[in-house]
Structure 1
Amino acid sequence: MFHTTIEPRVSETDGVGHINNTTVPVWFEAGRNQLFALFNPEWSFKDWKMIILNMNVDFISQIYYGKEVEVYSWVKRIGNTSLELYEEIHQGGELCAKGTAIYVHYNVHEKKSERIPDAIRLELQNHLYTNM
């Protein structure tokens, strides 16, 4: 599992007084930084390797400004060239949002997907979600 703590900002709070629903996908992406580092340790956009294909979000409970948010990301499935993530956002110990994302390992220069390298595949297995 990958874990990231986020401190909600005032600008992410909407007129109803809770964190705007457009913020949640951004927070899920912030929770993927450790995953991105596996594929691109130099953080070079010139050689970026992860292209998102699909993302789904289920909103479970409201999230508020003033309390930290915990983002958890697990690897749900590892394919030949792609992987699926399962993600959750918690605030105050309560599940507030959950979702999935599918990424493909992609060569931007050749404009085609590539097999996930064995060394990365082994590391990804350390983050498998086993509660499903």
Structure 2
Amino acid sequence: MYEKMIEPRVSETDGVGHINNTTVPVWFEAARNEIFKLFTPDHSFKNWKMIILNMNVAYKSQIYFGQDVLVKTWVSRIGNSSLELYEEIWQNDILCAEGKVTYVNFNLEAQKAERISDSIREELGKHLLHNETDEEG
């Protein structure tokens, strides 16, 4: 599992006093930086590999300014050229949001998907959702 602590900003708080729903996908993406680095180590957009295909967010509980949130990210599936991630946002030990996202490893120059390399697969495999579930019980 990858983890990222985020400190909510005042600007992310909406008129009813909680973090705006549009902020949650941005936080999920911020927690993916270590995964992006696997595919594009120099973070160059010229060589960018991770193209999003699908994203879903389920809101479970309100999130508030003034209290840090923890974003947890697992790899739920590794395909030939794509991968799926499962994500959670926690605040004060309460699950506040869940996300699922699918990315494809894409060659911008050739304009086609590419197989995920064995070295990246190995690293992603360390963060598989079922591995952690198996270890816990």
| Distance in 2 between residues matched to 1:61 and 1:19, nearest whole Å | 11
5 Å matches for 1:45-56? Answer: 45-56=45-56
TM, length-normalised to structure 2: 0.95
> What is the Cα deviation at residue 26 of structure 1?
0.3
Task: Give 1:125's aligned residue.
Answer: 125
> What is the Cα deviation at residue 8 of structure 1?
0.2
| Distance in 2 between residues matched to 1:93 and 1:41, nearest whole Å | 33
TM, length-normalised to structure 1: 0.98
- Aligned amino acid, residue 107 of structure 2: N
| Distance in 2 between residues matched to 1:44 and 1:12, nearest whole Å | 27
Instruction: State yes or no: 1:109 paired with 2:109.
Output: yes
Q: Which runs of 5+ in 2 are unaligned?
A: none
SS at match of 1:42: coil
Query: Can you list the C-alpha shifts for 1:26-62, whole angstroms capped at 9, x where unaligned?
Result: 0000010010011111111100000000000000000
SS at match of 2:104: strand
Task: Give 2:31's aligned residue.
Answer: 31
Query: Can you list the C-alpha shifts for 1:99-126, whole angstroms capped at 9, x where unaligned?
Result: 1000000000010000000000000000
Instruction: State yes or no: 1:44 paired with 2:5.
Output: no
SS at match of 1:74: strand
Task: Give 1:81's aligned residue.
Answer: 81
Q: Which runs of 5+ in 1 are unaligned?
A: none
SS at match of 1:110: coil
| Distance in 2 between residues matched to 1:38 and 1:91, nearest whole Å | 28
- Structure 1's consecutive aligned runs of 4 or more residues displaced over 6 angstroms after TM superposition are none
| Distance in 2 between residues matched to 1:102 and 1:83, nearest whole Å | 6
> What is the Cα deviation at residue 93 of structure 1?
1.0
- Aligned amino acid, residue 102 of structure 2: I
**Identical counterparts, % of pairs:** 64
- Aligned amino acid, residue 67 of structure 2: K
> What is the Cα deviation at residue 63 of structure 1?
0.1
CA RMSD of aligned residues (A): 0.9
